[in-house]
């Protein structure tokens, strides 16, 4: 049990990092990672929505859609749940804490079309934990607890990659770069080196 939890955490944060290994959520990774602060806010917002979305989509799929035999509608259902959730969250945060809304709120609408959220909801639709986390013994069936744990730490991994990239880009801004490599190309090459570092975790 403890080993499974540890493996899920390490896998979600490092060896199966959502951005650098699985390529989910690259748009915010390239778009919002210019400053460490904004990268951190975006990461926190994504993590929050990821966990909440999983909290709704996983039971919805397992306890409602499968018994009714309407699994084929999962894409439409999930995207609707995520869009509604993001909208609701935006209103709630604006009401409760205007200061938090100022730092995080502007990123919330962007999150609806973030592949990482729909990606985690889709990835978690497996019967066995070993299908998404390598190294775990076979036969441990997926449940809501593991799903939420995976979603939370996938968000943490996402935030980690965003913040690291923010730091790299703050430095890159000040360096002389060839004109055609400015902007996206040089960011991609930097991301390539980061991906190499994260690749090592999957070899362990």
Partner 1 sequence: MNRYVKTAYDGLITNNATFKLVLGTCATLAMSTSAVNSFGMGLSVTVVLLLSNVVISLLRKVIPNTVRIPAFIVIIATMVTLLRMVLEKYIPSLYDAMGVFLPLIVVNCVILGRAEAFASKQPVLDSAIDGLFTGLGLTFALTLIGVIREFLGSGSFFGIKVMDFSIGFFTNSAGAFFVYGICIALFVLATGQIEKRARAKRARALRRPPEGPLDPPEDGSAEKEVQ
Closer Cβ to partner 1, 2 or 203, answer by number? 203
| 204 belongs to the binding site for partner 1 (CB under 8 A) | no
| 22 belongs to the binding site for partner 1 (CB under 8 A) | yes
Please say whether the beta carbons of 78 and 118 come within 8 A. yes
Min dist. Cβ of residue 118 to partner 1 (A)? 5
Closer Cβ to partner 1, 3 or 189, answer by number? 189
Which residue among 118, 160, 162, 164 contacts partner 1 (CB under 8 A)? 118
Applying CB under 8 A, the span of 40-48, 54-62, 75-83, 140-148 interacting with partner 1 comes to: 75-83
Residue 50: which residues within 8 A CB-CB, separation 6 or more?
Answer: 116, 117, 120, 151, 152, 154, 155, 158
Min dist. Cβ of residue 32 to partner 1 (A)? 13
| 171 belongs to the binding site for partner 1 (CB under 8 A) | no
Question: Which residues would be at the binding site for partner 1 (CB under 8 A)?
Answer: 20-27, 30, 72-76, 78-80, 83, 112-115, 118-119, 122-123, 178, 180-181, 184-189, 191-193, 195-196, 198-199
């Amino acid at each position: 049990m403890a080993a499974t939890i540890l493996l899920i955490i390490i896998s979600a944060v490092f060896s199966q990092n959502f951005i650098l290994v699985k390529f989910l959520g690259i748009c915010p990774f390239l778009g919002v990672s210019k400053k460490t602060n904004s990268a951190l806010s975006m990461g926190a917002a994504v993590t929050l929505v990821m966990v909440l979305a999983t909290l709704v989509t996983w039971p919805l799929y397992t306890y409602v859609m499968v018994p009714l035999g309407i699994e084929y509608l999962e894409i439409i259902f999930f995207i609707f749940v995520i869009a509604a959730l993001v909208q609701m969250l935006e209103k709630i945060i604006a009401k409760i804490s205007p200061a938090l809304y100022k730092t995080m709120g502007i990123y919330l609408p962007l999150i609806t079309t973030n592949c990482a959220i729909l990606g985690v909801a889709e990835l978690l639709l497996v019967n066995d934990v070993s299908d998404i986390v390598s190294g775990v013994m076979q036969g441990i069936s997926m449940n809501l607890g593991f799903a939420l744990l995976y979603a939370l730490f996938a968000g943490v991994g996402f935030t980690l990659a965003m913040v690291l990239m923010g730091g790299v880009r703050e430095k890159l801004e000040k360096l002389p770069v060839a004109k055609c490599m400015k902007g996206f190309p040089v960011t991609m090459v930097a991301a390539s080196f980061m991906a190499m570092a994260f690749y090592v975790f999957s070899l362990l």
